[in-house]
Amino acid sequence: MPSAVFPRRKQLTKRTCVRIMMLKDVTDMENGICLKGSVEKIKILKLEETPLIRFTLTVDKQEKQNCLIRAHSLDFLYQVTEGNAIVIYGRKNKRNQVVVQKYHVNQK
């Protein structure tokens, strides 16, 4: 099939996600979810070549989301500490946890 029929989708970058987050705290983008909040309770669930990490993202004082990250998890452990403000993009799994695909640490 010619590529003109199916044009490339604009890829989501960290900067695009942050711009969208300035408009809303929670945005549903192409069946994904983009959240902004602070990190709490970082745990390593599986220690493998690429560790599985679980953390709690506090969006509001009342709303907390459980999040999982495997892609770039070592970089995540290096960059993020409890209390850091971050923006994440991911999808919900069957257990209503956000599986993080991309993240951005806000500088203080």
Q: Considering its fold, how many domains does the chain have in total?
A: 1
Q: Is residue 95 part of a domain?
A: yes
Q: Regarding predicted confidence, which is higher, 12 or 97?
A: 97
Residue with tokens 């929670």: 26
Count Cβ atoms below 10 Å from residue 106 Cβ, excluding itself.
12
- Say what the pLDDT of residue 60 is: 85
Residues 6+ apart with CB under 8 A from 50: 70, 71, 73, 74
pTM for the model stands at 0.69
Which tens digits make up the pLDDT trace of 54-83? 999 999 888 999 999 998 889 999 999 999
- Say what the pLDDT of residue 30 is: 60
Which tens digits make up the pLDDT trace of 26-54? 454 567 889 999 999 999 999 988 899 99
> Residue 79 is part of a domain; what is its CATH number?
2.40.50.140
| Separation of alpha carbons 4 and 49, rounded Å | 40
Q: Is residue 27 part of a domain?
A: yes
- Say what the pLDDT of residue 87 is: 93
Instruction: Tell me which residue range forms the domain holding 26.
Output: 14-105
The answer to whether 67 and 86 have CB atoms below 8 angstroms apart is no
Q: Is residue 6 part of a domain?
A: no
Q: Is residue 68 part of a domain?
A: yes
pLDDT band at 101 (very low <50, low <70, confident <90, very high): very high
Does residue 108 surpass a pLDDT of 90?
A: no
Q: Is residue 79 part of a domain?
A: yes
